[in-house]
Amino acid sequence: MKVLKFGGTSVGSPKNMRAVLDLITDGDQKIVVLSAMSGTTNSLVEISNYLYKKNKYTARIITGNLEAKYKKVVAQLFSSEENKKRGLEVIRESFNTIKSFTSGNFSEVGENTILAQGELISTQLFALLMSEKGYKTKLLPALDFMLIDEDKVADTQYIRKNIKATLNEVGDADYYITQGFICKNANNEIDNLQRGGSDYTASLIGAAIEADEIQIWTDIDGFHNNDPRFVENTKKIDKLSFNEAAELAYFGAKILHPQTVLPARVSNIPVRLKNTMNPTDSGTLISADSDGQGIKAVAAKDGITALKIRSARMLNAYGFLKNVFAVFEKYQTPIDMISTSEVAVSITIDSTQNLPGIKEELTKFGTVEVDSEMSIVCIVGDIIQEERGFAPKVFRALNGIPIRMISYGGSKYNISVLVPTSNKKETLQALSDNLLNS
């Protein structure tokens, strides 16, 4: 069985939903993971933010506008009056849930419940459409089998066991429709896999059912060698290895949620990226094979903070790095890049939630400098093949760019540089012009 995931734009209008229906109904049994219709999760985040700020009035206005939009979708999506009524019932239930939080106190549980409504609506409407057109379809409630633990890590054993149970429970169908993004957490509350998480849902399900292939259907023809939102003349890549794709996704390529590749890599299930708007294009295939062509692509991750800890005695004093790392461990803050000199170590983090505490503790070991609004630009490929010429090529391409840190040699798949976010676009364009397309 295959697992197919369709993103926000792919299900972003009644017309697009019908196109997805035509695309998936080839008679092969499959699990279809859907995102919320495009723009919905952003609106739900906005509603939650106003509720946190106790601005219930604005939260209610945005809720009302979104509900009106969905009523139009229902009117255009279904043919029969009965299904239009059922569709409105789906909308009413979700919006009643959202409105129940527009009075009283607001917390993370409320936020996560609101954020879940986008996927709950899109999947119920789509499953209803499938049934209206006569396809044997069942809805698989993701909240019955998708689970994250106390550390917010997906519980793959639980997912494996419970998706099988859920498939048995809902009974035989040709097409199973389920929600991306949403899950339960260790407290049995509604939670999610972070923004863009539907990709991750698809690969977790793919691994759990030992799928033949995981397909990520989106609004572009595949993985490009640079970020098309910032750079001109990006090119589609036909093949990537799991390792290359994992580095690119982790370091910011928005086309894939950062964790998507991991379950597929562990279970050796190919991931294919396809364009819903141009389904005959072959897309990008991510698999265990590398096609060994040196540098493949670059990606950038924003929101990075760099900390430089300078001490009179660093490298000579064993235990220094251990003490520094212990601070990040204590504050449960992952480190992305590291570089060292005799007297200082520079470290980057992508979460500033605990920065004040981290900074205070680090000052015990030396002076601490903080640079915010930085971006990691990551250059990915099967680098060993070009070992001799690789680093000079990258540095020539980056001539004139103010580089704050460099990381090379951590794996054979990437070299990363840290630049101010204000120089990111220029850095990406320089890499396209001087390295990828030359």
Which one of residues 7, 118, 197, 420 is an interface residue with ligand ADP (CB under 6 A)? 7
Site for ligand ADP in 171-210 (CB under 6 A): 196
Binding status of residue 8 toward ligand ADP by CB under 6 A: yes
197 binds, among Mg ion, ligand ASP, ligand ADP, none (CB under 5 to 8 A by kind): ligand ASP
Nearer to ligand ASP, 258 or 420 (CB): 258
Characterize the bridge pairing of strands 213-218 and 271-275.
parallel
Q: Which residue has the tokens 């099967």?
A: 382
Nearer to ligand ASP, 123 or 348 (CB): 123
Q: Which residues in this chain contact Mg ion in the complex, by CB under 5 A? A: 7, 196
Q: Which residues in this chain contact ligand ASP in the complex, by CB under 6 A? A: 7-8, 35-36, 41, 118, 180-181, 195-198
Binding status of residue 254 toward ligand ADP by CB under 6 A: yes
Q: Is residue 294 classed as helix, strand or coil in its secondary structure? A: coil
Least Å from the CB of residue 206 to ligand ASP: 15
For the chain, how far is it from start to end, CA to CA, in angstroms? 41
- Evaluate whether 305 touches 355 at the Cβ level (below 8 Å): yes
Nearer to ligand ASP, 45 or 335 (CB): 45
Q: Which residues pair with 400 in a beta bridge?
A: none
Characterize the bridge pairing of strands 271-275 and 284-287.
antiparallel
Binding status of residue 19 toward ligand ADP by CB under 6 A: no
In order, the DSSP letters of 196-243 are: TTHHHHHHHHHHHTT-SEEEEEESSSS-BSS-TTT-SS--B-SEEEHH
Nearer to ligand ADP, 191 or 247 (CB): 247
Least Å from the CB of residue 264 to ligand ASP: 16
Least Å from the CB of residue 69 to ligand ADP: 17
Candidate ranges 91-99, 224-232, 342-350, 355-363; the one touching ligand ADP (CB under 6 A): 224-232
In order, the DSSP letters of 96-161 are: HHHHHTSSS---HHHHHHHHHHHHHHHHHHHHHHHHHTT--EEEE-GGGT-BB-TTS-B-HHHHHH
Binding status of residue 119 toward ligand ADP by CB under 6 A: no
* Helical spans, DSSP H, in 318-386: 320-330, 355-362
Binding status of residue 223 toward ligand ADP by CB under 6 A: yes
Q: What are phi and psi of 300, to 5 degrees?
A: -135, 140
Binding status of residue 263 toward ligand ADP by CB under 6 A: no
Query: Rg of the Cα trace of the chain?
Result: 23
Nearer to ligand ASP, 245 or 347 (CB): 245
36 binds, among ligand ASP, ligand ADP, Mg ion, none (CB under 5 to 8 A by kind): ligand ASP
14 binds, among ligand ADP, ligand ASP, Mg ion, none (CB under 5 to 8 A by kind): none
Total residues interacting with ligand ADP, rule: CB under 6 A = 17
Burial of 163 (0-12, 13-18, 19+ CB in 10 A): buried
118 binds, among ligand ASP, ligand ADP, Mg ion, none (CB under 5 to 8 A by kind): ligand ASP
Binding status of residue 218 toward ligand ADP by CB under 6 A: yes
Which one of residues 255, 304, 428, 431 is an interface residue with ligand ADP (CB under 6 A)? 255
Least Å from the CB of residue 228 to ligand ADP: 5
Burial of 165 (0-12, 13-18, 19+ CB in 10 A): exposed
316: left (phi over 0), alpha (psi -120 to 50) or beta: alpha
Residue showing the smallest CB distance to ligand ADP in the complex: 7
Rounded Cα–Cα distance for residues 372 and 350 (Å): 10
Return residues touching ligand ADP (CB under 6 A).
Answer: 7-10, 35, 196, 218-220, 223-224, 227-229, 253-255
